[in-house]
Amino acid sequence: MPEQSDALELRLHLLGPAAEIPPSAPVSATGGGRAGVNLTAEGADLFIAVPDRPLAEVRWIVDRIIRSVTAVAELEAASVVAAEGLSDAGVVSVGLDLHHRFGGRVHIPASPALAARVRDIGAREDEYRAWVDEDASTRTSLAICRDIRELAAHHDHIEAEILDEEALGERGLRLLLAVGSGSEASPARLALARYRPPGASQPPLMLLGKGITFDTGGINVKPYESFVSAMKNDMGGAALAYSLFHALVASGYPEPISLVIPACENSIGPRAMRPGTIVKSYRGPTVRIDHTDAEGRLILADALAYAADTDGPTQVLSFATLTTAALVSYGPYATPVHFADPELQAMLRRASEETGEDLHMFPERVWHLEANRDREADLRNTARLPGDASRGAGSRNAAHFLKHFTDVPLCHFDIFASTWNWSGEAPGAGYGATGAPLRTLIRAFEEPRGR
């Protein structure tokens, strides 16, 4: 067979004590990649060659090689010396992986502009990851509201509004109240932040994030096999929405943006919602609580309907660790994206190719909408397709549940698989949050749609 030509050659200088690495030692490689390392007085020079593959695979191969070096030497920082065959966006994405692996100590001497971009996006990914990794006893709904208030207090063009339990009851957000009813430490809240830049008069882009600060499963208690020990990550959608909002505002985004975060803990207690209860939603349809561990779609439904009424957005982007089906069906790195219109699909595909994060697009289908119907109530929170398919399509059915609660164009990202390092091999990530797919969303929305 003919040899496969290399599409990328990456040279890194890794700083720190490298005496344990013998000169010119071979480095473990995978996926067709090649690598070599040479000692220097300050650390190690690492050469990596990768065949012609998508950037998502390049990132994974490069990270595996760097892991093999750092496993035998305590290196402290990285410098990108050369990156032949890699676009500027690709250099930034590899730089971001190095940023996370080396605690922000990454340098790109040949391009201060790319280094600055790594720092800027890295700060937002650090923020996103910190929210998700924080202990659920402190990253409560109240802490989320505090951070949103503080962001607004430091920016002239952001206003914050927090709805507590009394205000939620007055406005009829009963689904959100039902989910949060069992917790005193992290009670139901709806946090809103509205960015209105000077001179902008058009309706906003809305960013909606699920903020379940810990998910016990409720009375239908989540078993160990359902990742209950990692369920502090169930507010990953809120963290992603907040960090994207922060990034766009900091970049001087010229159009209005609304941030909407329904937040609470899905807890167990005498006030916790019961299976079989029928709750009237803010929008009007009644919902039977078939299973208390399908709570994320409930809080999103009320928040979506309410915020669409009050803010009148042009489009809603919804982010949620909504279903374990996203991990089971699509693997540890993929993000299912539901309902993106053709223009948005093109933006997201182009951005994901440039950042090396996998997005998979799925359209609206009537049978998934109808799978959410119920005999006792209008809807139920555990959709079922008929017959032999009754246990399938969990991510798609849950996304379609949300379609019953707004007429505004909605694009839903099920980030359960991609936001947490389930495989242990996500590029640049240790145990816990990965930061995905924030860099893709920042890249996609660098320019407002239609410009």
Evaluate whether 385 touches 371 at the Cβ level (below 8 Å): yes
Q: What is d(CA 245, CA 375) in angstroms, rounded to the nearest whole number? A: 39
297 catalytic per annotation: yes
CB 122 within 8 A of CB 96: yes
Strand partners, 317: 207, 411
Please state, in angstroms and rounded to a whole number, the distance separating the CA atoms of residues 436 and 54.
Answer: 17
Architecture of domain 134-444: 3-Layer(aba) Sandwich (3.40)
Cα atoms found within 13 Å of the Cα of residue 169, Cβ hemisphere only: 7
pLDDT under 50: residue ranges of the chain: 1-3, 450-451
Is residue 200 helix, strand or coil? coil
Pick the closest to residue 303 from 334, 354, 264 (CA basis): 264
At 20-32, the pLDDT tens digits run 555 555 566 788 8
Residue-range domain boundaries for the chain: 6-122, 134-444
- Over the stretch 347-404, which tens digit does the pLDDT of each residue have? 999 999 999 999 999 999 999 999 999 999 999 999 987 665 556 789 999 999 999 9
Task: Give pLDDT tens digits for 69-118.
Answer: 887 777 889 999 999 999 999 999 999 999 999 999 999 999 999 999 99
Report the C-alpha gap between 127 and 339 in whole angstroms.
Answer: 28
**How far is it, in rounded angstroms, from Cα 298 to Cα 281?**
9
Where are the extended beta strands (E) located within 40-157? Answer: 43-51, 77-84, 106-107
Catalytic residue among 194, 222, 396, 403: 222
C-alpha distances (whole Å) from 286 to each of 51, 135, 279, 291 are: 54, 34, 5, 15
Residues 74 and 18: their CA atoms lie apart, in Å, by: 7
Q: Which of 117, 210, 232, 297 is catalytic?
A: 297
A 10 A CB-CB count for 424 gives: 9
